[in-house]
């Protein structure tokens, strides 16, 4: 008979005091709001990491975090636990339509003196890359159709785990259903031998246009080129305090060209008001100054 598993189970919950110190630490570093109502969420999300390290108690794990060297070791895991990485290909699809129908043409008009301008696209909180690759498909298709421009892609996020996924660019086949059929055929590689969980991979032609880097939006300065043309800053501001939301928008604008397009998530759109922005479509703004 096989030996029974000896894996220890977690014996306590995340108490309010331990939650408060973790929430203060994470809010200070990542900017994410962690009200008391999120305690159970964090408790559940920490379990995997605790098991990995052999901790059976949340309070012992918290002591470990706050012991010397513990923060440095645990911070990436805590950030993974506290961030919500939900994303989709062609999420809020009208933004991709607007990119295709309006944004690129307008950018080319502004830069009509340049022989073959390079359009820079930045997915500011890229998560696993679905947003960046969706834009890549639109830009690549337009670049091929018009022959008028080149493009470069940048994805940034605070979580190294999602960035690794974005670089690998391998996705479960059912996740790419929103990708239009012609684009699926052109930009997704299907393995010759499909396993139990079929996957696809973004083609090398798009992968070589993209770079990904870790960036904490709470940082004072963003180490990003200051001539970005199109910035998708979607579905991340909602996690921050109002004052941090505005500061982040200003810092992103600081990395953009005049005349560039800032695209927010639909629920975040009011954030852009009073910042030298002109709204041109739902949640889409032009940087005017």
Ligand X SMILES: C[S@@+](CC[C@H](N)C(=O)[O-])C[C@H]1O[C@@H](n2cnc3c(N)ncnc32)[C@H](O)[C@@H]1O
The 141-160 site mask, x for binding ligand X (CB under 6 A), equals ----------------xxx-
Q: Taking a C-beta distance cutoff of 8 angstroms, is the pair 55, 11 a contact?
A: no
User: Cβ of residue 216: shortest distance to ligand X, in angstroms?
Assistant: 5
- Of 172 and 194, nearer to ligand X (C-beta) is 172
Site for ligand X in 172-231 (CB under 6 A): 215-218
CB of 159 to ligand X, least distance (A): 4
Q: Is residue 154 a contact partner of residue 123, using CB atoms and an 8 Å limit? A: yes
Residue closer to ligand X, measured from CB, 224 or 277: 224
Per CB under 6 A, which region of 48-56, 84-92, 173-181, 196-204 contacts ligand X? 84-92
**Of positions 45, 58, 91, 165, contacts ligand X by CB under 6 A:** 91
- Taking phi over 0 as left and psi of -120 to 50 as alpha, with beta for the rest, 31 belongs to left
The only residue of 62, 236, 249, 286 in contact with ligand X, by rule CB under 6 A: 236
**Binding span for ligand X by CB under 6 A among 70-78, 106-114, 235-243, 256-264:** 235-243
* DSSP H/E element including 188: strand 188-189
Q: How far apart, in whole angstroms, are the C-alpha atoms of residue 279 and residue 28?
A: 32
Among residues 36, 39, 61, 37, which one has the least CA distance to residue 48? 61
Q: What are phi and psi of 8, to 5 degrees?
A: -80, 145
User: Does 245 engage in binding with ligand X (CB under 6 A)?
Assistant: no
User: What tokens does 70 get?
Assistant: 């513990």
- Give the range of 6-14, 48-56, 59-67, 79-87 binding ligand X by CB under 6 A: 79-87
**Cα distance between residue 97 and residue 138, in whole Å:** 9
Closest by Cα among 99, 177, 90 to 134:
90
Tell me the residue length of the chain. Answer: 289
132 binds ligand X (CB under 6 A): no
Contacts (CB under 6 A) with ligand X, residues 99-128:
125, 127
| 230 token code pair | 């199109």
CB 272 within 8 A of CB 262: yes
| Comparison of 91 and 111: residue with beta carbon closer to ligand X | 91
**Near ligand X by CB under 6 A: residue from 77, 120, 209, 234:** 234
Give the residues lining the site for ligand X (CB under 6 A).
Answer: 30-32, 83-87, 91, 125, 127, 131, 157-159, 162, 215-218, 234-236, 239, 265
């Amino acid at each position: 008979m096989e030996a029974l598993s000896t894996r220890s189970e977690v014996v306590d919950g995340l108490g309010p005091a331990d939650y408060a110190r973790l929430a203060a630490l994470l809010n200070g570093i990542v900017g994410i709001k962690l009200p008391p109502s999120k305690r159970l969420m964090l408790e559940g999300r920490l379990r995997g990491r605790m098991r990995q390290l052999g901790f059976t108690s949340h309070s012992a794990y918290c002591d470990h975090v706050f012991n010397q060297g513990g923060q440095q070791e645990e911070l990436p895991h805590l950030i993974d636990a506290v961030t919500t990485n939900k994303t989709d290909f062609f999420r809020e699809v009208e933004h991709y339509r607007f990119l295709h129908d309006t944004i690129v043409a307008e950018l080319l008009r502004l830069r009509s003196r340049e022989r073959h301008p390079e359009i820079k696209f930045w997915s500011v909180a890229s998560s696993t890359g679905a947003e960046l690759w969706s834009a890549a498909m639109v830009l690549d298709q337009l670049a091929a159709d018009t022959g008028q421009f080149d493009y470069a892609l940048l994805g940034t996020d605070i979580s190294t785990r999602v960035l690794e996924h974005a670089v690998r660019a391998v996705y479960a086949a059912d996740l790419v259903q929103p990708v239009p059929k012609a684009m699926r055929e052109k930009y997704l590689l299907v393995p010759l031998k499909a396993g139990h969980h079929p996957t696809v991979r973004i083609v090398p032609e798009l992968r070589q246009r993209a770079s990904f880097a870790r960036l904490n939006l709470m940082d004072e300065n963003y180490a990003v080129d200051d001539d970005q043309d199109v910035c998708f800053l979607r579905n991340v501001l909602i996690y921050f305090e109002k004052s941090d939301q505005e500061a982040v928008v200003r810092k992103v604008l600081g990395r953009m060209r005049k005349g560039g397009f800032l695209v927010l998530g639909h629920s975040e759109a009011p954030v852009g008001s009073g910042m030298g922005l002109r709204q041109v479509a739902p949640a889409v703004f032009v940087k005017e100054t």
